[in-house]
């Protein structure tokens, strides 16, 4: 069973986010959507509201879990048993940045 994580602030969730979620849910057994919480930043929506909005939008998808988290993404991935991180790319510069992280 392959568990993947798609993490972000999702403040708010967009059509682009949902497109990635829908595609990833077709590839992996379980997709955990990690709503990142940074206590030093004031978001437009509270973490609870963001989780609720994502659950509402993703209701038709059966293999989705939505959780909030603080701290390092790698620690969250270990906690949920994920072996894959799903990332979205908006431009070539995003790809170059992700390659540097990889």
Segments making up each domain of the chain, as ranges: 3-101
3-101: CATH topology is Rossmann fold (3.40.50)
Pairwise pLDDT comparison (56 vs 41), residue with the higher score? 56
**Is residue 40 scored above 70 in pLDDT?**
yes
* pLDDT confidence bin for 102, thresholds 50/70/90: low
Q: How far apart are CA 52 and CA 86, in angstroms?
A: 21
Angstrom distances, CA of residue 89 to CA of 41, 78, 85, 92, 94: 23, 23, 13, 8, 5
**Is residue 53 scored above 70 in pLDDT?**
yes
Check whether the bond before 12 is cis (ω within 30° of 0).
yes
* pLDDT confidence bin for 99, thresholds 50/70/90: low
């Amino acid at each position: 069973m392959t568990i993947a994580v798609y993490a972000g602030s999702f403040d708010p969730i967009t059509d682009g986010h949902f497109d990635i979620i829908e595609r990833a849910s077709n590839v992996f057994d379980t997709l955990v959507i990690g709503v990142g919480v940074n206590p030093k930043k004031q978001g437009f929506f509270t973490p609870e509201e963001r989780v609720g909005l994502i659950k509402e939008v993703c209701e038709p998808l059966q293999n989705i879990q939505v959780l909030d988290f603080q701290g390092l993404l790698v620690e969250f991935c270990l906690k949920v048993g994920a072996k894959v991180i799903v990332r979205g790319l908006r431009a070539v510069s995003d790809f170059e940045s992700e390659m540097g992280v990889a």
